[in-house]
Amino acid sequence: MEKRKLGQGFEVSALSLGAMGYGKSQEIDDRTEMIALLRAAVDRGMDFFDTAEVYGPWTNEMMVGEAFSGMRDKVKIATKFGWDIDQDTGVHRGGVNSKPAQIRRALEGSLKRLGTDYVDLYYQHRVDPDVPMEDVAGVVKDLIAEGKVLHFGLSEAGAGSIRRAHAVLPVTALQSEYSLWTREPEAEVIPTLEELGIGLVPFSPLGKGFLTGKIDAGTKFADNDFRGQIPRFSAEAREANAALVNLLRTIAGRNDASPAQIALAWLLAKKPWIVPLFGTRRLERFEENTAALRVQLSSADVADLDAGSAAIPIQGDRYPEAVLRRSGL
């Protein structure tokens, strides 16, 4: 699989697989199948995988650790700290916590669950307004000196926080939502990353499935599907936002590709240091998404996607209000 470099020369596969959807709850009903998918991804040349202590909490990291047992040298694992999780019980108390002692204990737990003695990329999951960014970066700098972390990352951080962290410890990557229907990072964040030499790992590059074209105003979400709570996925918003899917279908028709492949190819075409992070539970979808690497959008295609998506007013917030407030977004 094609490789790309994030910040600090960190080379990874050009696409990354996120394990979040394989178990944000305590139970992972299809654990065996998900482990098989993670291993199949490695067989197909992917080496960059994403998890976090909060997914579960903890169960996701344990599953990822089991999946990659015996092949640690073939994978680069990113995990995250920063939520207020009791490090003795695993109870998520709500809110954020990036106090130095919390970061250290969180890392020790992550290393144990992942079955490794180092993490390739360690993200602060959300900025903690009560802990100076300089202190957070300082702790991770010490962990790097100890050999327990190789690279430092941030998630959903603004330009100011990125600069403050980078002044203490060079930041390798920012993970934030960025796609054809979430283009806000283009205003300040992406120029900051380019100036400082930091890579971008966009999550939800397919708009939580909407940009695949397989969801419409009539789609019914299961009771446990978080999208049913997201304003952008209300029936009215889906109907309004269908214009973006129609745009993707138009460009897909020019390139003998699927809407999902076009959405990923657009991100790949924006900057050479962007590595989209997608999630899927099915091997055929994994193969469809990774085939986006073979889609070569023309400059006209990119311009049409840029202008066309900018002209479509996207309806609905990307998270419920309570989540936005808790995350400081």
Residues annotated catalytic, as ranges: 55
CA distance 328 to 160: 14
Buried b (16+ CB within 10 A) or exposed e, 231-265: ebbbeebbebbbebbebbeebbeebebbbbbbbbb
Closest CA relative to residue 43, chosen from 286, 275, 273, 293: 286
Sign of CA dihedral 2, 4, 59, 74: positive
Buried b (16+ CB within 10 A) or exposed e, 37-47: bbbebbeeebb
Buried b (16+ CB within 10 A) or exposed e, 192-205: bbeebbbbbbbbbb
Measured in whole angstroms, the distance separating CA 255 from the mean position of its chain's CA atoms is 26
Tokens of 277: 């992070």
Which long-range contacts (C-beta less than 8 Å, at least 24 apart) are formed by 62-67?
A: 62/113, 63/19, 63/22, 63/23, 63/28, 63/31, 63/34, 63/35, 64/19, 64/38, 64/114, 65/113, 65/114, 65/115, 65/116, 66/35, 66/115, 67/34, 67/35, 67/38, 67/39
